[in-house]
Structure 1
Amino acid sequence: MSALLRRKRKKPAERVVTLVGKSGCHLCEDARAVVSAVCAETGASWVERDITEDEELYKEYWEQIPVVLIDGEQHTFWRVDPARLRRALGADAKPG
């Protein structure tokens, strides 16, 4: 079973992180810096979506922005912990 799980687990470079936020949001700016840095370190790709330009995202996440999704699944909201994001992407957390 562990071999099967290992085989299905994606490498960080195969993951896509989506940051859902909006312009002028200071927490979104903080989250952008963390997501950008962690994705650069791990090789994961990332995209940013503006909640004010997508009605479905607005309905789903308005009170939680910024929201971070990994491969379309919600990972976190408000504050992004870099070590937790690295672990979720399958990368080892950096010390310190």
Structure 2
Amino acid sequence: MPTADSRVTLFTRQGCHLCESARAVLREVCGDDWHEVDVDLPDALTGDGRPAGSAYGELLPVLEVDGRRAGYWQIDTDLLVAALQRSSKP
């Protein structure tokens, strides 16, 4: 089960086919060490504390790594790995 304290967060919406594809990529690369946020839930917030539904509604899925947006729409393995590597550099 993805955990809220993970470095990787995926913002999604029910019924989104791109979100399904992104989930598969995160499972492959991160295993269970990622967190999913449904933007349609009233308490869903972005990494900087804004309401996720209004901030990301048209961009879904949205990938954040360490609280920073790393990609949206097409989340693939290369994008995720590059974002993780960039974020881990000093």
Bucket of the pairwise TM-score, normalised by the shorter protein: 0.7 to 0.9
> Normalised by the size of structure 1, how large is the TM-score?
0.69
Q: Is the counterpart of residue 85 in structure 1 residue 80 in structure 2? A: yes
Q: Is the counterpart of residue 48 in structure 1 residue 36 in structure 2? A: yes
> Normalised by the size of structure 2, how large is the TM-score?
0.74
Whole-angstrom distance in 1 between the partners of 2:15 and 2:79: 25
What does residue 74 of structure 1 align with? 69
Q: Is the counterpart of residue 29 in structure 1 residue 20 in structure 2? A: yes
- SS of the equivalent of 2:85 reads coil
The higher radius of gyration belongs to 1
Q: Can you list the C-alpha shifts for 1:41-71, whole angstroms capped at 9, x where unaligned? A: xxx8200000000270011100100000001
- Where structure 2 has 5 or more consecutive residues not aligned to the other structure, the ranges are 1-5, 46-50
Aligned positions of 1:52-67 closer than 5 A: 52-53=40-41, 54=44, 56-67=51-62
- Where structure 1 has 5 or more consecutive residues not aligned to the other structure, the ranges are 1-14, 92-96
Aligned residues: 74
RMSD: 2.0
Runs of 4+ more than 2 Å apart? none
